[in-house]
Amino acid sequence: MHDLAIKNGLCYIEGEFVHANIGIDGNRITYVGKEEIKGELSVNAKERLVLPGLFNAHTHLAMTLFRGFAEDMPLMDWLKTKIWRAERKLTAKDVYWGSMLGIVEMLKTGTTCFSDLYIHMDEVAKACIESGIRAVLCYGMADRGDPERAKEELEIGEEFIRKWNGGRIKAIFGPHAPYTCSLEFLKEVKEKADQLGVGIHIHVSETREEVKEFLQKYRSRPIEKLEEIGFLSPKTVIAHAIWVDEKEMEILAKRKVSVAHNPVSNLKLASGIARIVEMMKFGINICLGTDGAASNNTYNLFEEIKLTSLLQKVHTGRADALHARDVIEMATANGYKAYQIDGGKIEKGKLADLILLRKSFNYIPLYNPLYSIVYSSFGCEVSHTIVDGRLLVEDGQPLTLNEEKIIERAEKIKEKFLDL
């Protein structure tokens, strides 16, 4: 008898869809196979597709509160006149409700783990604990060349890690970017991360201008410089990596750094198209993220899945540039791998983070589920979401969250930003 049994689903196992039963005990998958199994709780997955849960590898979760707040503006204008001013008004409680809103959306669209870099992170951690979702969290630090500030930022970052690291929460360091953090500060962050045995999540080479300015200042490209100061390791995840040359790709591959690709945000902010296929040729681990909801505007990872595939096709001029299977791996196993979490696969012994998809009209006729998922999904096909062995969404309904109340609070918080 298992704690939870998922029966008769068409399951994504080692790159193929096969009929199987899945047994879960505690927070791990303990059985995958054709034998009849029983569970204290059992989910009938007949006519459903079963996938490892999706991993959203780059978010600023509480920015849900700013989606639709300021649109169609040039990037710097948008940041300076709108987003940064609004963020100054953001309280810890607002971040809690904004995070809850993001978590409802993620759980309902099949995301079982996300990696967040933002402010008031205690509130994000609380929202994760209460909702049951898994997360990698870090306080977003920037010293802007001020040694006093560097000291304070590192203290906040470290305190957050000591307070929250463990269980479903993996707490790491989040220096914002090489253009908002000094090299001295980045070196200190790396030393501290090594001491504590934790990873680092950072933005690198998102815009052409940022790389140009970096080159002028340091006479070296950002990733070359990060390599020079010993910053890169298999525990580093860099978001974006759009303006990266081949020498830098070689460095990323050598240091086993993972790249979080955010295609919707990159298009919306006109940042560019990351060279994903080329990076894959170097053997770089690519995972997918949405970035913040102000530049996306959703946390529905199925949008990133489809767009990743389409963008690489048009970018390389080859319709076979990426296989649907590669993109599914980016959205699942590669995210778990990037942050060293033992999930992302339907396999005995792995963490039980799984989702069930119904075969809705947009999947019909169903020739190959891989293609339906990558090219036809809206996100609303997700019927069940299981995180850490616990059922969090059943038949599309969140079990641990009060969706109505969260919506009401978010609408109320909106009012304070209306005069900006």
CB nearer to Zn ion: give 265 or 372. 265
127-135, 141-149, 187-195, 285-293 -> range binding Zn ion (CB under 5 A): 285-293
Nearer to Zn ion, 237 or 352 (CB): 237
Binding letters toward Zn ion, positions 239-278, x by CB under 5 A: ----------------------------------------
Using CB positions, name the residue nearest to Zn ion.
291
Of 6 and 293, the one with the shorter C-beta distance to Zn ion is 293
353 binding Zn ion? (CB under 5 A): no
Whole-angstrom Cα Rg for the chain: 21
206 touches Zn ion by CB under 5 A: no
Q: Is 291 in the site for Zn ion (CB under 5 A)?
A: yes
Q: Which is nearer to Zn ion, 21 or 271 (CB)?
A: 271
User: Does 304 contact Zn ion by CB under 5 A?
Assistant: no
Q: Hunting for tokens 């040039």 — which residue is that?
A: 74
Residue 188 lies near Zn ion (rule: CB under 5 A): no
What whole-number distance in Å separates Cα of residue 233 and Cα of residue 340?
12
The Cα–Cα gap between 136 and 171 comes to: 6
Residue placing its CB nearer to Zn ion in the complex, 39 or 98: 98
318-327 long-range contacts (CB < 8 A, ≥24 apart) are 321/277, 322/276, 322/277, 324/370, 324/371, 324/373, 324/374, 324/375, 325/15, 325/370, 326/280, 327/288, 327/374
Assign residue 98 a region (left: φ > 0; alpha: ψ between -120 and 50; beta: otherwise). Answer: alpha
Minimum distance from CB of 124 to Zn ion (Å)?
14
Which DSSP string corresponds to 296-316?
Answer: T----HHHHHHHHHHHHHHHH
Nearer to Zn ion, 83 or 406 (CB): 83
Binding mask 137-166 for Zn ion (x = CB under 5 A): ------------------------------
- Tell me, by CB under 5 A, how many residues bind Zn ion: 1
In Å, what is the CA distance from 258 to each residue of 143, 283, 336?
A: 24, 10, 11
> Residue 341 and residue 57: Cα distance in Å, rounded?
12
The footprint of Zn ion (CB under 5 A) covers: 291
